[in-house]
Amino acid sequence: MGGQGVPSVDECLKIVEKLYKDGVPVKEIAKHCGNSMSTVYKVLDRLEAMGRIKRRRGHYSKHRRLSEEELEQIKKLYTQGASIYEIARRLDRPESTVYYALKRLGLK
């Protein structure tokens, strides 16, 4: 074990690899290891570099701007009574994106 009774990055490799492959969220892996999420991410980076895992990435693609059609769809759905959550799920967008679009449209 590491100097403070917490597994080191090297000691966590096998634990993190197994839990990550089993689909356990990083936050839970960190709790299980007794390490920070930052340490778990370092371990995941190392495991990926070694070719032992393929990292899961976020559900949404990065910084994809809303199209004019999507803005119109958001406006239409919201005025028809759909919740921000429902609109976000239909458009496969984060709720925050829908919320800020509604603010820009003057509807929030």
Q: Enumerate the domain spans of the chain.
A: 9-49, 68-104
Cβ within 8 Å of residue 43, ≥6 positions away: 9, 12, 13, 16
pLDDT of residue 2: 45
Inform me whether the pLDDT recorded for 16 exceeds 70. Answer: yes
Residues 47-97: tens digit of each pLDDT? 989 999 888 776 555 667 889 999 999 999 999 999 999 998 898 888 899
pLDDT tens, position by position, 17-49:
988 888 888 888 888 888 888 888 888 888 989
User: CATH fold of 9-49, please?
Assistant: Arc Repressor Mutant, subunit A (1.10.10)
Using alpha carbons only, give the angle 63, 69, 76 rounded to the nearest 5 degrees: 110
9-49 and 68-104: same fold? yes
3-class state of residue 63 by DSSP: coil
Fold classification of 68-104 is: Arc Repressor Mutant, subunit A (1.10.10)
In the prediction, which pLDDT does 26 show?
86
CA distance 18 to 23: 9
Q: Is 58 exposed, middle or buried (0-12, 13-18, 19+ CB in 10 A)?
A: exposed
- Assign 105 a pLDDT band (cuts: 50, 70, 90): very high
